[in-house]
Structure 1
């Protein structure tokens, strides 16, 4: 019989707290383990599964998305590709917003006014945001004048 891991051993091998492992089990990310005298016993493959979940979290997947990905592994289709494509599009949007935010902050630091609140561009930006504009629209409007 293969070596079985207690929840403490799985936690030590993966660096994930036992409380998180129990929560992931509750969410269905980890399959229910066998029990020996009431204690959880995980197969050695659980280490790789926990590693997969950690990797998915590191690249931006929520636990719900990670569960869908893990579930898609057991299917014979390419459902995981759709999940990756959606996450890639979401990351592209976040990167674009972050780049606009970075540009706005860099412009703020380069502003010649000693006090940012005295800058007419800053005031225009605030007005445009309050009028429902996005940071990107505000930046384009200010710098197109």
Structure 2
């Protein structure tokens, strides 16, 4: 029989806490392991699967999305590509939002007012947001005058 790993050994090999491994198992990210005397025993391939979960999580996938990614795997299919494309689109949107936020903060730091609450641009941005503008629209509105 091939080497089987305890949950502690799997945790040591991957750097993932045993509590997280149990949680991932509960979510269906890891298949239910065999049990020996009530203790979990994982196949060596579980190390790689934990690595896949870690990689996908680190590039921005939620655990629900990781589960869909793992489920989309098939020998002949490339369903994972659609998931990657959706995540790429989402990341592009988040990057654009972060760039707008960075610009707004940089302009705030350049504000000559000692108290930013006294700045008409700041007050105008707050008013535009309260009126339903996006951050980008509010910022453009302030700087178009």
Q: Is 2:88 aligned against 1:88? A: yes
Give yes or no for the alignment of 1:140 onto 2:140: yes
Q: Equivalents in 2 of 1:129, 1:4: separation in Å?
A: 57
Query: Any unmatched runs of 5+ in structure 1?
Result: none
Distance 2:47 2:131 in 1: 51
1:129 — aligned with what? 129
What whole-Å deviation, never above 9, does each CA across 1:32-61 have from its counterpart, x for those lacking one?
A: 111111111101010000011001110000
**Residue matched to 2:28:** 28
Count of residues paired in the alignment: 145
Task: For 2:35 and 2:133, locate their aligned partners in 1 and report how far apart those are by CA, in whole Å.
Answer: 56
Which residue pairs with 2:41 in the alignment?
A: 41
Please, which runs of 5 or more residues in structure 2 have no aligned partner? none
- Is structure 2 residue 66 aligned with structure 1 residue 66? yes
Structure 1 CA distance, aligned partners of 2:22 and 2:134? 41
- Report the Cα distance in structure 2 between the residues aligned to 1:88 and 1:4, rounded to whole angstroms: 37
Q: TM-score, normalised by structure 2?
A: 0.96
Tell me what 2:97 maps to.
97
Deviations 1:79-120 (A, max 9, x none): 100000000001111111111000000000001112111111
* Closer/same/farther in 2, CA of residues 6 and 66 from structure 1, 3 Å limit: same
CA distance in 2, matches of 1:13, 1:77: 30
RMSD: 1.0
Taking the aligned partners of 1:38 and 1:121, their CA distance within structure 2 comes to: 65
Where has structure 1 moved over 3 Å in runs of 4 or more? none
Is the partner of 1:35 in helix, strand or coil? strand
